[in-house]
């Protein structure tokens, strides 16, 4: 990680990110809306008056952990770079928000200003750029809910700095797009929310989506263990999908692999995996989820 708060840089389109677009099981209309908004950032912002159409170049994805927000943001960045015609190649930048946070007076505000007003502005001045702000509530905390006794004034100043820089960047660099994610939208400052051009909530998978995730995971594992392809087409897969309701997409994909751990012989040869193993893994995950919810009540 760079010391200036940048976790990663990639030239777009990146093949790893491109592959994520099809791997993410989501209502196609939501994908279309997100892609449309991202493309509009590059086709409209430079041609319209911001006073009339106050676009900030910010898309916010919110939802529970495991719903695919970060992966979707990366995939969206790649898809956008493929569809927008530009003379220069897109650059993807992922920010590490926790690296910008500091309890030292003035440090967070200075770090945010240097990153957004310095590093990001310099990149946007020479090429189209898409910036991922993961866990954006870390940088744009809701000031109305912060206690000056419990939270240093620097937290307030950091949010102020984020908002000021977003305004400056929006006016100067229409080829810059921010993709922000949050597990806790209620913790995001209202002024940041108002600057988002589009806010999309990613819900937990529907039964149909659970089925698609299970099948896709089994097909992917079937590339290495061919007999698993049959499970992806099993008539009982629909029953398994129904039992997955309430789990997030990440848990569902992981439990298919975890199903191999209930039998040593299956762990040795995953081709031996059966639907009974998968059902057992689903039951285990649901029990763990129920315990986790109970501990938070």
Residue 216, domain member (yes or no)? yes
Q: Please report whether residue 222 resides in a domain.
A: yes
Residues 23, 40, 172, 57, CA torsion sign: negative
Residue 121 lies inside a defined structural domain of this protein: yes
For residue range 156-180, list pLDDT tens digits in order: 788 899 999 999 999 999 999 999 9
Determine the average pLDDT of the residues in 46-67: 93
Would you say residue 284 lies in a domain? Answer: yes
158 and 101 in one domain?
Answer: yes
What strand order describes the sheet that includes 129-133? 6-12, 90-95, 129-133, 176-182, 58-63, 198-202
Question: In Å, what is the CA distance from 255 to each residue of 55, 274, 282?
Answer: 41, 13, 7
* Whether 179 and 290 share a structural domain: no
- Domain end (from 150, 169, 202): 202
Ranges assigned E (strand) in 29-105: 58-63, 90-95
Q: Is the domain of 263 the same as that of 121?
A: no
**Taking Cα atoms as reference points, which of 254, 242, 241, 238 lies closest to residue 288?**
254
Is the pLDDT at 102 greater than 80? The verdict is no
- 140 with 268, same domain: the answer is no
Three-state SS for 114?
helix
Q: How confident is the model at residue 146 (pLDDT cuts 50, 70, 90)?
A: low
Give me the chain's average pLDDT, please.
91
CATH number at residue 22: 3.40.50.300
Host domain of residue 254: 207-295
Q: Are residues 154 and 41 in the same domain?
A: yes
Q: Is the pLDDT of residue 104 over 50?
A: no
- Among 202, 236, 254, where does a domain finish? 202
Chain segment 111-138, per-residue pLDDT in tens: 888 999 999 999 999 999 999 999 999 8
Q: How far apart are CA 36 and CA 116, in angstroms?
A: 25
Whether 264 is covered by a domain: the verdict is: yes
Q: How many domains does the chain have?
A: 2
Q: Does residue 285 sit within a domain?
A: yes
For 67-90, what is the mean pLDDT? 95
Q: Does 53 reside within a domain?
A: yes
Q: Can you tell me which residue has the tokens 């039964």?
A: 207
Last residue of a domain, one of 137, 167, 202: 202
**The pTM is what?**
0.90
Residues 194, 267 share a domain: no
| Residues with Cβ within 8 Å of residue 189, at least 6 apart in sequence | 140, 141, 142, 143, 144, 159, 163
Phi/psi for 289 (5° steps) reads -65, -40
One domain for residues 150 and 288 = no
Q: What would the mean pLDDT of 182-199 be, rounded to a whole number?
A: 95
- Regarding whether 194 and 213 lie in a shared domain, the answer is no
Please indicate, yes or no, whether residues 90 and 28 belong to a single structural domain of this protein. Answer: yes
Output the CA torsion 149→192→171→175 (10° steps): 120
227 and 169 in a common domain:
no
1 within a domain of the structure (yes/no): no
Same domain (yes/no): 182, 138: yes
């Amino acid at each position: 990680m760079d010391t200036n708060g940048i976790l990663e840089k990639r030239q777009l389109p990146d093949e790893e990110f491109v592959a994520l677009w099809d791997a993410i099981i989501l209502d196609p209309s939501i994908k279309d809306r997100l892609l449309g908004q991202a493309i509009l950032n590059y086709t409209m912002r430079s041609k319209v008056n911001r006073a009339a159409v106050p676009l900030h170049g910010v898309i916010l994805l919110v939802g529970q952990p495991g719903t695919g927000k970060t992966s979707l943001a990366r995939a969206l960045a790649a898809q956008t770079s493929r569809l927008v015609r530009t003379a220069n190649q897109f650059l993807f930048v992922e920010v590490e928000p926790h690296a910008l946070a500091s309890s030292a007076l003035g440090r967070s505000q200075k770090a945010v200003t240097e990153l957004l007003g310095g590093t990001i502005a310099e990149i946007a001045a020479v090429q189209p750029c898409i910036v991922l702000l993961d866990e954006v509530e870390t940088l744009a905390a809701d000031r109305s809910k912060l206690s000056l006794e419990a939270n240093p004034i620097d937290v307030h100043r950091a949010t102020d700095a984020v908002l000021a820089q977003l305004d400056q960047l929006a006016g100067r660099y229409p080829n810059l797009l921010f993709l922000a994610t949050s597990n806790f939208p209620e913790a995001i400052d209202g002024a940041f929310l108002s600057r988002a051009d589009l806010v999309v909530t990613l819900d937990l998978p529907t039964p149909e989506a659970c089925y698609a995730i299970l099948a896709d995971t089994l097909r992917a594992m079937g590339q290495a263990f061919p007999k698993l392809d049959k499970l992806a087409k099993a008539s009982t897969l629909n029953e398994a999908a129904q039992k997955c309701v309430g789990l997030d997409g990440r848990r569902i994909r992981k439990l298919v692999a975890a199903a191999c751990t209930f039998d040593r012989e299956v762990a040795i040869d995953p081709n031996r995996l059966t639907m009974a193993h998968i059902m057992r893994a689903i039951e285990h995950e649901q029990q763990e989820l129920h315990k986790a919810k109970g501990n938070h009540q």
